[in-house]
């Protein structure tokens, strides 16, 4: 874990993060590999969401948050002075725990980012709406209802609409923070299958409380505890023969 | 909804079919060496045994990983458990072909004891049982599995017949003992192949119906 991996789109070395006096991340390393799903698991408060939010500097918004160490996105330190945070968040997008569509139509939700960026041509917007909704497995169900309010959709369609909204601005990395915790098992399965489909074109990093979800969908897993990265490796290895006793206890349900 | 997991189940099935095809060929070659006194078939059996051994390890790893990562339930769980057991039956069954080959190698150094009558037919049935049991397993075919169970009785009967016949040779002429004994043991190897095919058929019934019919377990009162 000390040398940079060639196929990692994001590489983190010795990342420390403080919220005021509290140290939430302790010299954490992480490689997020291109077009793979990387899952962060661990008990509440272990720092996994904090680490995920470092990948597109969402923690900047939290008062008293200090970051030290390097987060390299395609080799560039995103915390270096002069980095364009808006561009970073376009390239490294995020899907949140609760689906958060805007109180607008389905179509306007998808093109929101493009409108903000000043895109006006109707034909181009239409193309992007179709492409994004198709990629999020929503086009067939919603193509005749594009002007209906997004908030009227069932929760899993809302969550996939949030994915479509992200895809419209063509990100490279998709961060997902507990994307299924508000969904029932069937809706969860749909999002999971969608993630497996999306990784053909995008890199995905996901935080999940649901260990089984990490096992089912991810290629690499990192187990975090008290702000440390206890173990990181291919998911099959982490779940069948973890190297660290603490990982063993957690994945077999003996933790705590 | 087609699940990503279903693709993995399909791969697992293909691996089992590949292993079973290898084992079938091994039995065929071992019998060819023995009955047609064809030495050239022997090294082929040993080569395929290596491939079977590698597949066994690979399939076990697949089953372990699928259980660990997907927490399968109900039919999926029974299928993976059944696949792991079938994997072990296929490997042991292929070992029986190797055992036959070892003895054939020695028998070829001596003149034939007698013309083969029952043994090739017994081997043909056992090999067919293997073929059918594995196809029934991957296709969830209970009727075909039950048919395999029935044919095992025929194989057992033939083994008993061969043993009686060869005992007579040994009793009348001690010079035939080593060859006759080798043939009895080969009949025993073939019978074991039938037993492993039977196990695979029983696995199928468990996978499809969720009932364990081994040792007549399904005739016992529930909960016992």
For residue A211, tell me if it sits in a domain. yes
For residue A235, tell me if it sits in a domain. yes
Which whole number is the average pLDDT over A21-37? 97
Q: Is the pLDDT of residue B94 over 50?
A: yes
The gap between the terminal CA atoms of chain B, to the nearest Å, is 38
pLDDT at B220: 54
Look at chain A and count its residues: 256
Nearest to B194 by CA among B146, B133, B138: B133
The gap between the terminal CA atoms of chain A, to the nearest Å, is 27
**Across the interface, do A215 and B70 touch by the CB < 8 Å criterion?**
yes
pLDDT confidence tier of residue B223, bands split at 50, 70 and 90: very low
Split into its structural domains, chain A has a count of 1
How many Cβ contacts (< 8 angstroms) between chains A and B?
28
A130, burial (CB in 10 Å: exposed 0-12, middle 13-18, buried 19+): middle
For residue A139, tell me if it sits in a domain. no
Condensed to tens digits (0 to 9), the pLDDT of residues A229-252 reads 999 999 999 999 999 999 999 998
Cα–Cα distances (Å) from A207 to A180, A216, A226, B19, in that order, read: 10, 13, 15, 39
Residue A89 domain boundaries: 8-97+173-251
Q: Is the pLDDT of residue A210 over 80?
A: yes
ipTM above 0.85?
Answer: no
Measured distance CA(B106)–CA(B133) in Å, rounded: 31
Bridge-based pairing state of the strands A92-95 and A8-19: unpaired
pTM to 2 decimal places = 0.84
- The helix/strand/coil state of A219 is coil
For residue A245, give how far its alpha carbon lies from the nearest alpha carbon of chain B (Å).
17
For residue A154, tell me if it sits in a domain. no
Residue in A196, A217, A239 closest to B68 by CB: A239
Q: Is the pLDDT of residue B222 over 70?
A: no
Identify the CATH number of the domain in which residue A70 sits: 3.40.50.300
Contact A78, A86 (CB under 8 A): no
Best of B57, B68, B71, B74 to substitute, by most chain A Cβ atoms within 10 angstroms, is B68
Q: A141 — contact with chain B (CB < 8 Å)? A: no
Cβ-based neighbours of B138, under 8 Å, separated by 6 or more: B13, B16, B17
Cβ-based neighbours of B132, under 8 Å, separated by 6 or more: B144, B147, B148, B197
Q: A189 — contact with chain B (CB < 8 Å)? A: yes
For residue A73, tell me if it sits in a domain. yes
For residue A217, tell me if it sits in a domain. yes
**Across the interface, do A236 and B71 touch by the CB < 8 Å criterion?**
no
Which whole number is the average pLDDT over B159-180? 96
Contact A219, A235 (CB under 8 A): yes
pLDDT at B217: 67
Q: B5 — contact with chain A (CB < 8 Å)? A: yes
Q: A248 — contact with chain B (CB < 8 Å)? A: no
CATH number of B4-214: 1.20.58.220
């Amino acid at each position: 874990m000390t040398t940079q991996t060639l196929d990692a789109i994001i590489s983190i070395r010795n990342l420390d993060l403080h919220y005021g006096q509290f140290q939430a991340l302790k010299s954490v390393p992480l490689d997020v590999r291109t077009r793979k799903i990387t899952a962060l698991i661990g008990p509440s408060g272990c720092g996994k969401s904090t680490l995920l939010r470092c990948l597109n500097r969402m923690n900047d918004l939290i008062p008293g948050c200090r970051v030290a160490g390097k987060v390299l996105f395609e080799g560039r330190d995103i915390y270096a002075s002069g980095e364009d945070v808006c561009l970073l968040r376009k390239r490294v997008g995020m899907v949140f725990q609760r689906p958060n569509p805007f109180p607008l139509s389905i179509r306007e939700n998808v093109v929101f980012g493009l409108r903000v960026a000043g895109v006006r041509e109707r034909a181009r917007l239409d193309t992007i709406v179709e492409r994004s909704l198709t990629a999020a497995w929503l086009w067939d169900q919603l193509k005749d209802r594009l002007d209906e309010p997004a908030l009227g959709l069932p929760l899993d369609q809302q969550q996939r609409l949030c994915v479509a909204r992200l895809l419209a601005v063509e990100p490279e990395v998709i961060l997902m923070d507990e994307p299924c915790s508000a969904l029932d098992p069937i809706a969860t399965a749909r999002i999971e299958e969608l993630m497996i489909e999306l990784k053909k074109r995008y890199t995905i990093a996901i935080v999940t409380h649901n260990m089984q979800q990490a096992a089912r969908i991810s290629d690499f897993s990192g187990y975090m505890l008290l702000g440390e990265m206890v173990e990181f490796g291919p998911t099959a290895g982490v779940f069948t023969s973890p190297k660290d006793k603490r990982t063993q206890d957690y994945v077999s349900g003996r933790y705590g | 909804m087609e699940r990503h997991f279903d693709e993995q189940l399909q791969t697992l099935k293909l691996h089992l079919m590949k292993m079973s095809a290898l084992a079938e060929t091994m039995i065929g070659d071992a019998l060819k060496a023995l009955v047609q006194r064809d030495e050239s078939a022997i090294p082929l059996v040993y080569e395929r045994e290596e491939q079977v051994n590698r597949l066994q390890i690979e399939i076990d790893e697949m089953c372990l990983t699928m259980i660990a990562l997907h927490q399968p339930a109900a039919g999926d769980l029974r299928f993976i458990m059944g696949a792991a057991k079938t994997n072990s039956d296929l490997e042991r069954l292929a070992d029986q072909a190797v055992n036959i080959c070892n003895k054939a190698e020695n028998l070829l150094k001596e003149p034939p004891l007698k013309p083969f009558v029952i043994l090739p037919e017994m081997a043909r049935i056992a090999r067919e049982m293997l073929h059918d049991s594995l196809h029934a397993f991957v296709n969830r075919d209970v009727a075909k599995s039950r048919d395999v169970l029935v044919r095992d009785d025929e194989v057992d009967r033939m083994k008993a017949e061969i043993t009686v016949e060869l005992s007579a040779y040994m009793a009348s002429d001690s010079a035939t003992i080593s060859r006759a004994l080798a043939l009895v043991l080969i009949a025993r190897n073939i019978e074991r192949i039938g037993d492993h095919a039977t196990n695979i058929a029983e696995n199928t019934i468990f996978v499809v119906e969720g009932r364990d019919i081994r040792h007549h377990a399904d005739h016992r009162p529930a909960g016992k």
